[in-house]
Chain A
Amino acid sequence: MNVTIHYFAMLRERSGVDSEIVETSAVDARGLWEETNHRRKFGLDRAQFSVAVNDTFVEWNHALVDGDQLVFLPPVSGG
């Protein structure tokens, strides 16, 4: 299946792209994080991040379906 990953802030700079479409066999958000963290050599600790699918915060065991839009969110620092 194909999913789109959107990057913001630190992850956008590290990846060098705003978004990318990736083909994945990951079954859930956690699997896609592990795959992406490895492929892009982020070397980051998942515990620092949260994840959103289709603009909604979800748990890491959220099952992925074809066409999903994912965002891995770094710790927020607004306000």
Chain B
Amino acid sequence: MTENVAFSLSDEGLDSRTLQGLVRDPHCGGYASFEGWVRDHHEGREVTRLEYEAYPAMCQKEGRRILKSALERFGVDKAAAVHRTGSLAIGDVAIWIGVSSAHRREALEACAWIIDEIKSTLPVWKKEFFKDGTSEWVRCDRCAQGHGHHAH
């Protein structure tokens, strides 16, 4: 049986056109994707670059668990995600998610659900470097308290 989920970490730039191949399927007419980009500000401070650090073994397990449960919940055909590690510049793609399905609605819903799950459970940590020369690990108290939806 062909594997219908694919999760990986990458220390190199992500190209969504290439990554689409992970979920392409002649059976599927709907493709939804999400890209997270590095933005130049956080809580009013100017950000110059980011670093992502991952716990690789658990990312694999957790990433696959999330993608597999998306297939079950939404009945989509294929789901894939790639998360960057290492140093990223403003505008770089930090994460790519792709979902394919016979029809569009399920693909869109599954894609939105996957990014929410990844943000709340995937063991990846972001360090922001600010214009004033300081840097800090993003410490999200609301994540720790499980309050769910909010901007980072």
Per DSSP, chain B at the interface is mixed
User: Does A1 have its Cβ within 8 Å of any Cβ on chain B?
Assistant: no
Query: CB within 8 Å of B: which of A25-61?
Result: 47-49, 52, 55-57
Contacts of B54 in A (CB 8 A): 8, 78
Chain A, residue nearest B52 (CB):
A78
Which residues between 99 and 152 of chain B lie within 8 Å of chain A, taking CB atoms? 115, 118-127, 137-141, 143-144, 152
Which of A9, A47, A74 has the most CB atoms of chain B within a 10 A radius of its CB? A9
Question: How many A-B residue pairs lie within 8 Å, measured between CB atoms?
Answer: 80
> What residue in chain B is nearest A79 (Cβ atoms)?
B119
Bound state CA distance, A55 and B137, in angstroms? 22
Check A77 against B55 for contact (C-beta < 8 Å): no
Q: Are B55 and A73 in contact (CB under 8 A)?
A: yes
- Contact in complex: B139, A71 (CB < 8 Å): no
**Residues of chain B lying within 8 A (CB to CB) of residue A12:** 53
Picked from A9, A56, A76, the residue with its CB within 8 Å of the CB of B143 is: A76
- Chain A interface residue count, CB cutoff 8 Å, equals 21
Query: Is B29 an interface position by the 8 A CB rule?
Result: no
User: A76 contacts B122, CB within 8 Å?
Assistant: yes
Chain A contact residues: over half helix, strand or loop, or mixed? Answer: mixed
In whole Å, how far is A9's beta carbon from the nearest beta carbon of chain B? Answer: 4
Q: For the complex, what is the distance from the CA of A78 to the CA of B119, rounded to whole Å?
A: 5
Chain B residues engaging chain A, CB cutoff 8 angstroms = 36, 52-55, 57-58, 61, 83, 94-95, 115, 118-127, 137-141, 143-144, 152
The 4 closest A-B pairs by CB, nearest first: A78-B124, A9-B125, A79-B119, A77-B138
Residues on A lying within 8 angstroms of B by beta carbon are 6, 8-10, 12-13, 47-49, 52, 55-57, 71, 73-79
